[in-house]
Chain A
């Protein structure tokens, strides 16, 4: 919010400043002084409005609140209750300030400024959209804000004048302890200066009488009176006070001293503390609605971002899986085209064939003879018996060889034994050897070893 409008409505005229706040420096970009009837069209498309209004029904009073009522909300309710006691027929807007000096231990004194809410809303009727209002108050609080911004003294009286209005404030420690707004209706132009001087002098005297324990030595002038040479001299003569003039051009750029007096109230509105605002319930409602809407917008945007994030992640995973699915599908199709799933009948045929081959071709006599080949090469068997009983092979081979020399018999026996041992390492067979040394005959029977075979191994017998 760097650019905004400050509007002061007074006597049927609107004083408008168009300002920019850049690096905490206020710069006036434009200024206008228009009739109130032109104001609605002027602000139609403009935002960020700081408004102060002159209100006829505005009064202030001191109300004492029991110390027991502590919280701000309860104090506000109590003050409203007290205001309603004497103004029951109207809805009121009010702000309140604890008075700097407290004389009672059981009560706390508050200065309360009260407005008729309906009249105030009527006065704000020129604003087409209340959400544009950033700040709204009455003229005297706009003046107080600017005076507090410029004046460092603890006690002072501030006077602001226009052609028809005089606003006089008494300030103690930056808190408003007295205010009066006077409508000036001079009988003639010649007597106007005297009338203003008289009104101001009388009010100052009244303030001094009301607040005897405070010495108001500074009189701060602003508005048309600040540009007048005669009236301040008269006031000084009658009241024995030091005169100061509000010169906001020291912290507001692009405005000269004389021109700044015309825009005292619009400038004051810019420095208005929250406690001095008068914001009708409807404006507060709109503001709360806007804040709620903004928070909801932020929350929904964050939610949307999160959902975008999660959905994007989910999409990425989905996309990755889909790609993998396509790859697997292609690979499956490729393997499916190569592999042939045989029908049950054909498979049974294959299985049957394999079963029969295993059963009937597993063992043959030729296999056994092939196994015994090393021994058969040494001596032709005289008998070979082979039986297949349900896959259990049982064979018996008889060898018989005659020799003329004992050495040959001996060597044959040794060699036969060696070859038999080689064969016996691959199949379980046993042998029975009979050597007849009288006839030099070597007889041997080789047979398979059955599990149930209880025959003991027979060593070579010598006859």
Chain B
């Protein structure tokens, strides 16, 4: 009877251990998958951190303050024109037009070449709300003239903020 008891106990234990080892193997597969994901996500996060650092160092400081409405953007452009119209002999070449990203105002300019200070000021001129894009620039005899485009970044419309996950980060 003792032997039978031991046989039963041994067999039950063996079966239990068999299922336990199978359970361990299944857990191993799951943990391996989780570990792979951790490794992949950690790598992605490191890349994200590098990009964050780069953005902070190189982009954030130069980022423009985008106006809250399209109307404000247009008024900003007009204000810029009016402010420097006399100084740089501005003429509107093409009034405010826009695409998906910005509002534009094309302006012709003309500056005396002899006024070196004004020339230097023009070369360093900036538009606080956006960018000044010089399309043409001609120096001839005593005159500097050409055409520039004032670019006013456009406020993004109807785009909800989407919280992004690591899954959205490309490998």
Contact = CB atoms under 8 A, between A and B. Distances in A.
A406 B38 CA distance: 78
Interface stretch (A20-28, A93-101, A194-202, A385-393): A385-393
A325 B134 CA distance: 57
B53 to A, nearest CB: 10
B66 interface: yes
Contacts of B102: 356
B151 A356 contact: yes
A304 B3 contact: no
B35 A300 contact: no
Given A297-B7, A300-B10, A325-B34, A343 B162 contact: yes
Interface range, A side:
35 or more
Contacts of A353: 59, 62-64, 153
Contacts, number: 174
A304 B13 contact: yes
A352 B101 contact: yes
A344 interface: yes
B21 A310 contact: yes
Interface in A298-334: 300-301, 303-304, 306-308, 310-311, 314-315, 317-318, 321-322, 324-325, 328-329, 331-332
B76 interface: no
A341 B24 contact: no
Contacts of A350: 55, 59, 63
Interface stretch (B81-89, B90-98, B135-143): B135-143
A340 B48 CA distance: 7
A353 B38 CA distance: 33
A12 to B, nearest CB: 33
Contact of B35 (A328, A366, A381): A328
B72 interface: no
B131 A356 contact: yes
Interface string A368-384: 00000000000001111
Contact of A300 (B7, B101, B130): B7
B64 A329 contact: no
Nearest to A316: B24
B41 A332 contact: yes
Contacts of A284: none
A72 to B, nearest CB: 30
Contacts of A387: 135-137
B134 A388 contact: yes
B28 interface: yes
B7 A345 contact: no
A341 B168 CA distance: 10
Contact of B10 (A304, A314, A325, A338): A304
Interface in A231-290: 290
A74 B51 CA distance: 92
B87 to A, nearest CB: 18
A388 B3 contact: no
B48 A341 contact: yes
A344 to B, nearest CB: 4
A354 interface: yes
B24 A315 contact: yes
A360 B133 contact: yes
Contact of A360 (B131, B139, B159): B131
A188 B102 CA distance: 146
Contacts of A70: none
A59 interface: no
B114 interface: no
A347 B11 CA distance: 63
B45 interface: yes
Nearest to B38: A328
Contacts of A304: 10, 13-14, 17
A28 to B, nearest CB: 30
B64 A386 contact: no
Contact of B28 (A321, A328, A359): A321
A342 interface: yes
A332 B44 CA distance: 10
A300 B17 CA distance: 13
A306 B14 CA distance: 8
B75 interface: no
B3 A297 contact: yes
Given A344-B161, A387-B136, A356 B49 contact: no
A166 to B, nearest CB: 44
A1 interface: no
B165 interface: yes
List the 6 closest A-B pairs by CB distance, nearest first: A300-B10, A307-B17, A314-B24, A344-B162, A328-B38, A386-B137
Interface of A: 290, 293-294, 296-297, 300-301, 303-304, 306-308, 310-311, 314-315, 317-318, 321-322, 324-325, 328-329, 331-332, 335-336, 338-345, 347-350, 352-357, 359-361, 364-366, 381-388
13 contacts: A293-B3, A293-B7, A296-B7, A311-B24, A339-B52, A340-B52, A341-B169, A342-B52, A349-B156, A353-B153, A357-B131, A386-B146, A388-B135
